[in-house]
């Protein structure tokens, strides 16, 4: 039942452009892959702004562990120190996003790799939650093996549904440089209705995974988003272990945040700070977060202490429940209380269990008493 409901939820989550806006073909002179715009006629033209001899763009076909072949665009920037792995929204493919990739790579001074999920663009297979997880893992492995990119030099970027695979991978990489969540979702079901419970058939449970991300998290969301409410981004930012200053774009919708000047300005500042974050600074922030979490857990334990009661039988002389952890309630002596641990006279346990009756050895209590 849960699997069937998950498939139904996936149908509401994925809307790949049909037909795809591009296709992949091999160049005759060197055999390398290139992307061309798909048109209704047999004639094809190069994608906009892609020079025929553009050496900064690599078109890749990557195998995933689930047997699909996905297409990725890798854009080099000669001045880049970091790499951005971009997971797009649910109704776009690489052909529509190429111009944006160019702008981000140049403005942010980063290498950028974007990919199409299984069933999107020229990628094979069908779109599903598990397939997107396998897709982003395959792209990360390609970055490691083909381009020598380590997680310390990687920033994950997830837009809308892309926040699902982004947080899935981020939760597995403890030394990741940073994460950007653009119009992100708490979960697939919470986009459709406001629920506070967890369901087994829900998809992209970012509400659980955000707590496992150890690197800085930048959240960008439009206040007038009518598809994914701003409350999703706000909740994710509050639950992040290392939240970066968020960007709430006043009047911004779901698909137009790139048009606002604050968008690229705030991203540039975030990237610059991530570039300047040395190992020493990262370790210092990790220690601070650990100390903060320890204080929070201690405060939580203190507040819960008096709510934890002993489950041992009560003494007929004093029927008050005792607290398990409060020092005043747990003294090593027995004064008319059969569940104190030690007795000052016999140095043994305060009560003996004999013949289904409790016998207390404290002063003033002689003989057997019914338990």
224 is catalytic: no
- Predicted pLDDT of residue 38: 81
- Residue 72 pLDDT > 80, yes or no? yes
Question: How large is the average pLDDT for residues 91-109?
Answer: 94
225 is catalytic: yes
Q: What is the pTM of this model?
A: 0.74
Q: Which of 68-82, 205-219, 254-268, 288-302 has the lowest mean pLDDT?
A: 288-302
- Residue 125 pLDDT > 70, yes or no? yes
Out of 168, 232, 254, 266, pick the active-site residue: 254
- Predicted pLDDT of residue 37: 86
| H helix or E strand, kind and range, residue 86 | strand 82-87
- Residue 288 pLDDT > 90, yes or no? no
- Predicted pLDDT of residue 197: 56
The secondary structure of 178-232 as a DSSP string is: EEEEES--S-HHHHHS---S--TT----HHHHGGG--S-EEEEEETT-SSS-HHH
Looking up tokens 């981020």 gives: 170
Average pLDDT of the chain? 80
Looking up tokens 């790579």 gives: 105
Between 7 and 160, the higher pLDDT residue: 160
Out of 118, 160, 183, 350, pick the active-site residue: 160
- CB proximity list for 76: less than 8 A, separation 6 or greater: 55, 56, 57, 58, 111
| Residue 190 pLDDT level (bands cut at 50, 70, 90) | confident
| Residue 145 pLDDT level (bands cut at 50, 70, 90) | very high
In the chain, list all ranges with CATH 3.40.50.1820. 2-290
Out of 225, 232, 266, 350, pick the active-site residue: 225
- The rounded distance, in Å, linking the Cα atoms of 164 and 17 is 19
What CATH class has 2-290? Answer: alpha beta
- Predicted pLDDT of residue 42: 43
168 is catalytic: no
- Residue 286 pLDDT > 50, yes or no? yes
- Predicted pLDDT of residue 350: 47
- CB proximity list for 280: less than 8 A, separation 6 or greater: none
pLDDT digits (tens, 9 = 90+) for 303-324: 555 444 444 545 555 555 554 4
Between 328 and 76, the higher pLDDT residue: 76
């Amino acid at each position: 039942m849960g699997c069937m409901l998950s498939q139904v939820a996936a149908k509401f989550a994925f809307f790949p452009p049909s037909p795809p806006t591009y296709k992949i073909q091999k160049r005759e002179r060197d055999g390398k892959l290139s992307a061309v715009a798909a048109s209704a006629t047999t004639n094809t033209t190069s994608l906009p702004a892609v020079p025929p001899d553009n050496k900064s763009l690599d078109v890749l076909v990557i195998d995933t562990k689930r047997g699909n072949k996905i297409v990725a665009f890798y854009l080099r920037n000669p001045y880049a120190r970091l790499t951005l792995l971009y997971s797009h929204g649910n109704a776009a493919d690489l052909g529509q996003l190429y111009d944006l990739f160019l702008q981000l790579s140049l403005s942010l001074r980063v290498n950028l790799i974007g990919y199409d999920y299984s069933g999107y663009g020229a990628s094979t297979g069908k779109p599903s939650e598990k397939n997107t997880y396998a897709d982003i893992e395959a792209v990360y492995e390609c970055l490691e093996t083909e381009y020598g990119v380590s997680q310390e030099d990687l920033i994950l970027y997830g837009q809308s549904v892309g926040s699902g695979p982004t947080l899935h991978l981020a939760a597995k990489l403890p030394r990741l440089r940073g994460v950007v969540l653009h119009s992100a979702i708490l979960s697939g079901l919470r986009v459709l209705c406001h629920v506070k419970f967890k369901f087994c058939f829900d998809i992209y449970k970012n509400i659980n995974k955000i707590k496992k991300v150890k690197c800085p998290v930048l959240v960008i969301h439009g206040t007038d988003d009518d598809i994914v409410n701003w409350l999703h981004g706000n909740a994710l930012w509050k639950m992040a272990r290392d939240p970066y200053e968020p960007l709430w774009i006043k009047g911004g919708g779901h698909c137009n945040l790139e048009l606002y000047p604050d968008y690229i300005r705030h991203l540039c500042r975030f990237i610059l700070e991530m570039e300047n974050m040395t190992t020493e600074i990262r370790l210092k922030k990790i220690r601070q977060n650990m100390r903060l979490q320890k204080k929070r857990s201690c405060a939580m334990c203190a507040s819960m202490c008096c709510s934890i009661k002993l489950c041992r039988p009560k003494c007929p002389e004093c029927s008050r429940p005792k607290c398990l952890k409060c020092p005043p309630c747990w003294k090593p002596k027995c004064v008319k209380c059969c569940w104190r641990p030690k007795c000052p006279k016999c140095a043994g346990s305060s009560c003996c269990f004999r013949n289904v009756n409790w016998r207390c050895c404290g002063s003033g209590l002689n003989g057997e008493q019914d338990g």
